[in-house]
Structure 1
Amino acid sequence: MKIAIGNDHAGTEYKLAIIGLLKSMDVALTNYGTDGTDSVDYPDFVHPVAKDVENGAVDYGIIICGSGNGASMTANKHQKVRSALCWSKEIVELARSHNDANILSLPARFISLPQALEMVKTFLNTAFEGGRHERRIEKMPCS
């Protein structure tokens, strides 16, 4: 499995912990995020993740900013991207199983680090159910 990760200054701590988790799972990783806490613009770090998902260079993306909203909105501008802003394990499960989300957007200022790590595990271990959900995905433009 290949994953691209990107973050702004609000998500650095979370990204570093997620990278540790992914490495322990032997996941191939591309890090596009900042490693610092100086203010940066999230689109600069989200577009590369979304491009990798869009062109199939990675299986999934993980993006992190303060609210998760800006990062998710940016990612969803790309064709074939279904970025889901998630704030609980249950939302992550539904985003994967019903919506076939291929990018997980995390709101660093609104979830704890243990929650974020659990959400990443859930994202990677939940399969898309297909069936009745497939026709809904097909109705999304450019998906």
Structure 2
Amino acid sequence: MALDHWGHPVPPSVPLLREAVEAGAYVRDGDQVRGMIYAPFAAWAARRWGLRADVRPRLAAEEIHKEIGRGHLVMLSVHKTIRTLDEVPPARGGHLVLGVGTGDDGVRLHNPSGLPDHSQRFARVPWADLDRFFAGRGVVLGPNRA
């Protein structure tokens, strides 16, 4: 989604995932991949596409608002039930979404596993609701490392 946002060609998913695994950005578990490893992902994104990719092990909502306001995108670790805004998610984090916009009313997310026409593209999540799902960590992406 970030590549498309900045006009980079978007490779097909399987070769892209294979390349990410080779770069150490994902953990392989048999035929599955589990969990993105932030630092190798950031190094790969910078090397491969020249993107700015800053790992943020502690990331406050105010910083999300500020970074997106600067024209950056923010990968956020949230619980997967953010797609339906469950009242009480069983945990925070473990699923990545892309913060693409903000306002006083909340953050706009692209969630690859969100519900089409509901929580997949430009889904508004109020700041108070984000707190229930967000693990407080992520990666800030920019169009270049400069």
Asked if Structure 1 and Structure 2 have the same fold, meaning a TM-score greater than 0.5 normalized by the shorter chain, the answer is no
Considering fraction of residues, name the structure with more helix: 1
**Highest Rg: 1 or 2?**
2
TM-score by length of 1: 0.32
Considering fraction of residues, name the structure with more strand: 2
Structure showing greater relative contact order (alpha-carbon pairs closer than 8 Å, 6 or more residues apart): 2
TM-score by length of 2: 0.31
